[in-house]
Every structure is written in C-alpha cells, then in structure tokens.
Structure 1
Amino acid sequence: MTVVGSNGAALHSAGKNHRAILGYLLIHSSSVVAMSKLLDKIWSGAPPRTARKMVHNAISEIRRSFGSDNNEPDFIITQSPGYRLCVDPESVDLYAFRRLVREANELVVSGDLPSASARFRAGLDLWDGDALSDLVEAGFRWPELGAIENERLAAYEAFFAAELRRGRHHQVATELDGVLAKWPSRERLGSQYMLALYRSGRQVEALEFYRGVRRRLNEQLGIAPGIKLERLHELILQHDPRLDIDPAVSMPVNGLPLF
C-alpha cells in the first residue's frame, strides 16, 4: 500500500496495525467504519483490552503523518460509531479502476470495442501487484481482499473477451500466457487462452493446454473441467466454424458465453 502526498512524495505509516487501519478505511472509503469492525478486522476477533485506545492512538499518528505535518487536509473524520476516510475517489487507484471498468463495460454494450479495450487496459494498468499485498504478507486475510482480486480477474476476462471479438487473438494469447501463470485455475481465462491459440493457428498447443488443465484438476481436486472448457475442446477438435471471429457474439454454450 502506497500513499502519495500532493507533492508526489510517498508518505509512510509505521507499524503493521497502523497500515491495516488505514488500509481497511481505504477499502471502505467514504463509508463510516465502526470501531467494533476495526477491532474485529485488526485483531481477528480477539482484540486486547487496550485495543480501543490503540486504535485512537493509531488514528492520531496517521493524521499527524499524513496531515498537518505535510500540509495535507485531515482526511480521517471521527463519526459515530467510528471513523470515515474522506478522499477524492480518483485519488485512490481502486476507485479509479472501478470507474474505468464500469465505463469499459458500457462501451462494450454500445459496441465500441476499441474504446472499451482502452478503458479496460487503463484500469488494469493501475495495478502494481496484489491489493494491499503488504497487509496480506503481514497475515491479514480479509474477505474484502478476495473480492477485490475477483474484480481484477473479471476485468481481465472482460478485456480479453473484447480483444477476441476484435480479432486480436495473437495479442491475447501472448498476454494470457503470463496472466494464467498467476491464476492457473481461472477457467474462463483458460477458455479464452485456448480460443486465442486456436485462432492463431496453434491448435496443438490449445489441446495440450486443455490436457494439462484436465490432468491438474483430476490430480489436485478429483474433478473434470467445467462444461464450457469441455465444449470448447470438442469444438476445437471438430474445427467448428463457429470458433471463427465474429465480433457480434460470444458464442453461447447452454445459454452461457463461451468466452
């Protein structure tokens, strides 16, 4: 987690709990976070007797670090039953990312795929590692962090779907190779990778990828790939013409989009 002052310099909050308090308020920016919720999230449901005082002291130190000492306005407001972080949404990468993805999805609906891809790319480029990775490394396991990661993955999937509809399968295959190295179990990404390989004339690699997924799922979980991946595998074997580029559709399988 990095906080940047108005002069462009990075500001630092010392201490794991200080960063966790700031991070949790940041995730819920513009909403009041109850003191009880902070205690639960920072100490995993088992706060020490002095936890409330520790939070009060941490908030004061964060205000001093990011406030008057750096000519910044007080951005943490005390508001019953806790605190509220007041920041411009565009100054927080997470909220800028969400806006860009929302705009991109609207452009997909309107049929402007090049502009949609550009918005998706701008949003995804805001990421520099995982969300609040320093807190994850410090042992915090908040459900909100998993939800944010799913937002990022959904944006990747929507971006690659738009790119495939634009006929940019070579670029998709190259980029997905790296993305799948980080998230190998995301099945829709796997389907998009197989389709991109197939459209790039790399059918053998697409089938090898499928066999690898099938083998890994069987060995690790004792299950088979999902229906969309299975169906795509069959269509590739058949050289089905419906796999050819059609920017108007994402070919449905049992009522669900294939990619």
Structure 2
Amino acid sequence: MRYEIMGPLRVVDGEEKSSIRARKIEVLLTVLLVRSDQVIPVDHLITEIWGEEPPRRVIAGLHVYISQIRKFLNRPDRDENPVLTRPPGYVLRLGSDELDIRHFERLVNDGRHHSRAHRYGQAAHSFESALALWRGPLLDDVCCGPILEGFQTWLYEARLECVEMLMDARLMLGRHRELVSDLYQLATEHPLREALHRQLMLALYRSGRRADALHVYQSARKTLNEELGLEPCRDLQALQQAILTSDDRLELPIPLPA
C-alpha cells in the first residue's frame, strides 16, 4: 500500500485509489502520515483538527475519527491495523507501506549525489522524478495546527529547492536555450529567489542574449531593494560583473558523460 500526501490525500492499494471526503478525518490521517512512526499526543491531534476552539465532546469525536481511519485502512491480509494507540496518543506505523514524501526525499538525495559526481543527466532524471510526485497543494492549503502548517512550509521549500537543482543540472547539460522561458516564469512567480535570477541570467548569456541577462539583474536588484531593502547577493553581483566582462568561465564546461 502507498500513501500519497504530496497533494490531496490518497491511498493506493494495487490498482485501487482511495481518498477521504470528510475533511476532519482527512486532516487527522494526514497528520498521522506526516509524523508516521512517531507517537502524536492527543492534544496535538485536537489542535490540528479543530484549532484553538475544539467542541465540548472533543475526545469522543477524536475516537470516532480514529475508528473510521482504522476501518478505512483495514485490509484482510494484515494482522494488525497501521494506526495504533500508544500513550499519550496515536501512531501510524508504516511498516512495509510506502509514503510518497519519503520517496521524494530519496530521489532528491540521489540527485544531489549525482550532481556532486558530475553525472548531470542522472541528476536531472532524479530531480524530475521527485517533482513528478507533486500533485498539488495539500488540503487546499488550509490547516489549523502547527504540524501541518510546518509540513506545508517544508514541502514548499523542498520542492522549490528541487526545481533549482534541476535547473542547474540542465544548465550543465547545455540546455540553456530551452530553459529560458521556464526560468522567466519561475523568476516571476518567485521574485525573491535569487538562485532563479542567477540561472536565468546564465541561460540568457549562454544563449547570446547578454543585454537581456543584464536587464534581469537590474530587475532583480530593484525588486530586492523595494521589497527587502537589500542588494543582490554576492553570487548575483559576481555574475553581473562576469557578464559585463564576458568572462570565459561563464561558458559551458566541456561535457562530461551523463
């Protein structure tokens, strides 16, 4: 069985894909999966589901939701339900089941390893596979408690970092011309991510568009000044100077085996 939380919650068992329509039960199962193999205290679960204003019979309600999740996850070929009572709360044991976010982390780590070894083709494949697991916002981006809010923040940053590493790997493979439009879109959507501006500048420069690359720098500098009162980071400033002097080090290195 595979659990998927990189998007709306889904449980995949062979060819069958199941989801939970009841919002509070979906929140509860998602929290158990985010903290899988860890005991989550009852009061933490209550905060995740109901926020700071739980109903009067909240413990009884939580027990009902746990019972419904156990029924949802029960399989005739299993000796034990994955959701266990463990004082002071509950735990979901993954066992041999899969969780998409752990697969995502493995693929990202593989990509980093390939990049460090200059195997950029394999690195790009790992990063692409990791990003393919993303199916959309978790729980429509509306959460009550710190566990899911923290997970959403982590997932957002981890996905963006993966995108940036993928762009770096593709740049090293000489795919700068095909990256320009994607990097323009990414830099516009995330104007404070200096790495994306750096990648766009480099892709433009290698595509013979030095003036456009310098314009990207000025635009990024203006945004950083207006939004944060900051100058661009050293890497971005160094890249601007290198473009102004047509530094040979900006040219694509001799290709290495993928």
On the 8 A contact 1:32/1:83 being kept in 2, the answer is yes
2:29 is aligned with 1:22: yes
Question: Shift of the alpha carbon at 1:32?
Answer: 2.0
Q: How many Å separate the matches in 2 of 1:234 and 1:90?
A: 52
How many matched pairs? 244
Question: Shift of the alpha carbon at 1:22?
Answer: 1.2
Structure 2 match to 1:137: 142
Cα distance change on mapping 1:205 and 1:16 into 2, 3 Å: same
2:22 is aligned with 1:12: no
On the 8 A contact 1:12/1:65 being kept in 2, the answer is no
Structure 1: 5+ residue runs without aligned partners? 249-259
2:118 is aligned with 1:111: yes
Structure 2 match to 1:148: 155
Question: Shift of the alpha carbon at 1:108?
Answer: 1.9
2:83 is aligned with 1:76: yes
2:243 is aligned with 1:232: no
2:105 is aligned with 1:98: yes
Question: Shift of the alpha carbon at 1:7?
Answer: 4.2
Q: How many Å separate the matches in 1 of 2:70 and 2:59?
A: 17
> Which residue type is aligned with residue 48 of structure 2?
K
1:213-252 alignment to 2 at 5 Å? Answer: 213-246=220-253
Tell me the SS of whatever aligns to 1:78. Answer: strand
Runs of 4+ in 1 over 6 A off after TM superposition: none
1:169-248 alignment to 2 at 5 Å? Answer: 169-246=176-253
On the 8 A contact 1:194/1:206 being kept in 2, the answer is yes
Structure 2 match to 1:63: 70
Per mean C-alpha deviation after superposition, the further-off stretch among 143-152 and 48-57 is 48-57
Report the TM-score when normalising by structure 1: 0.82
Cα distance change on mapping 1:219 and 1:159 into 2, 3 Å: same
Cα distance change on mapping 1:20 and 1:107 into 2, 3 Å: same
Question: Shift of the alpha carbon at 1:24?
Answer: 1.3
Q: How many Å separate the matches in 2 of 1:166 and 1:101?
A: 18
State the identity as a percent: 31
On the 8 A contact 1:104/1:117 being kept in 2, the answer is yes
Cα distance change on mapping 1:180 and 1:76 into 2, 3 Å: farther
Q: How many Å separate the matches in 2 of 1:2 and 1:23?
A: 7
On the 8 A contact 1:169/1:199 being kept in 2, the answer is yes
Tell me the SS of whatever aligns to 1:5. Answer: strand
Higher RCO structure, 1 or 2 (CA under 8 Å, sep 6+): 2
Question: Shift of the alpha carbon at 1:191?
Answer: 1.0
